[in-house]
Chain A
Amino acid sequence: DSGVTQTPKHLITATGQRVTLRCSPRSGDLSVYWYQQSLDQGLQFLIQYYNGEERAKGNILERFSAQQFPDLHSELNLSSLELGDSALYFCASSVPLGGGSTDTQYFGPGTRLTVL
């Protein structure tokens, strides 16, 4: 168990809909990262938040957005869903509150999104 939690574990929805994925980082970690794993694209970085602020952006579609709240949990919002958005979405966290160089990202169990 990495200490990173994600909900829900599975999500089935229809095209055009909007969903929210939730992530709670490891205790004390300030950074949250979102990744998408799909069969055709592999594991791809979407976005990073650090202590509530966006820190880096990857291949994230404009239909997708994220935020990190004061309690450090994060949400990934996916809207106008398309069939191709079906994937496993991972959240990861790193950087403990006390500093210390552990840039290792620890991953949550993922949310499997199926768009029908």
Chain B
Amino acid sequence: AQKVTQAQTEISVVEKEDVTLDCVYETRDTTYYLFWYKQPPSGELVFLIRRNSFDEQNEISGRYSWNFQKSTSSFNFTITASQVVDSAVYFCALSGRSASKIIFGSGTRLSIRP
């Protein structure tokens, strides 16, 4: 069975601090995909990144970075120099080879205080 665990329910930091959102996944598939989505207060789900299981390179996009480690089944997300606009619920997610459905974690609510 596939499962995604986001142990941090809520995180609150002061603006400009760095923050890391943890994600641990379980799957028996050898080919799988990992995702992060952002859900701002307006409610829509915004795609941030997709990683396949064969690509363990870390990725950086502006203030966002992702650390994928197959050895620990983790796909953590770091926001550097956080901003108030980063306040949202962030979901880590997993899909199998067929990519038919995405299994979402329970989400981490991130609040950035000015």
Which residues on A are within 8 Å of B, measured CB to CB? 2, 33, 35, 42-45, 48, 55-56, 58, 88, 90, 92, 94, 103-110, 112
Instruction: Give bound CA distance, A90 to B101, whole Å.
Output: 13
Residue B95, interface by CB 8 Å: yes
Q: Could you list 30 examples of A-B contacts with CB < 8 Å?
A: A2-B46, A2-B47, A33-B101, A33-B102, A42-B104, A43-B107, A44-B104, A45-B101, A45-B102, A45-B103, A48-B101, A55-B100, A56-B100, A58-B101, A88-B43, A90-B45, A94-B99, A103-B33, A103-B50, A104-B35, A104-B47, A104-B50, A105-B47, A105-B102, A107-B44, A107-B45, A107-B47, A109-B42, A109-B44, A110-B44
- Min Cβ gap B40→A in Å is 11
- Min Cβ gap B114→A in Å is 27
> Are A42 and B35 interface neighbours, CB within 8 A?
no
Q: Which residues of A contact B50 (CB under 8 A)?
A: 103-104
Main secondary structure of the interface of A (DSSP, over half): strand
Instruction: Give bound CA distance, A56 to B43, whole Å.
Output: 25
Residue B106, interface by CB 8 Å: yes
Name A103's contact: one of B99, B106, B107 (CB within 8 Å).
B99
Residue B64, interface by CB 8 Å: no
Q: Quick one: given A42-B106, A90-B45, are A107 and B37 in contact (CB under 8 Å)? A: yes
Q: Quick one: given A42-B104, A105-B102, are A112 and B43 in contact (CB under 8 Å)? A: yes
| CB nearest to B98 among chain A residues | A56
- Min Cβ gap B44→A in Å is 5
